[in-house]
Amino acid sequence: MAQTEKAQPSRLIPSPKALQKALVQSAKQAQRMADAFGLVVPSV
């Protein structure tokens, strides 16, 4: 039981590389949705 409790936080907190990948995927999805509706996505 103690091992599974210790293993869970690492699964709940993704690595910086995984976070970056998810952010890029999210941005691409937002852009595709905006294109589909004819909207402009604000960018930095």
Residues 8-31 pLDDT 10s = 556 688 899 999 999 999 999 989
Decide which of 23 and 5 is more confident. Answer: 23
What's this model's pTM, rounded to 2 decimal places?
A: 0.59
CB 36 within 8 A of CB 28: no
CB 41 within 8 A of CB 30: yes
> What is the radius of gyration, based on Cα positions, of the chain?
17
The residue with tokens 């604000």 is 42
Q: Residue 33's closest CA among 22, 21, 19, 25? A: 25
Q: How many Cα atoms occupy the beta-carbon half-sphere of 5 within 13 Å?
A: 2
Residue 41 has pLDDT above 90, yes or no: no
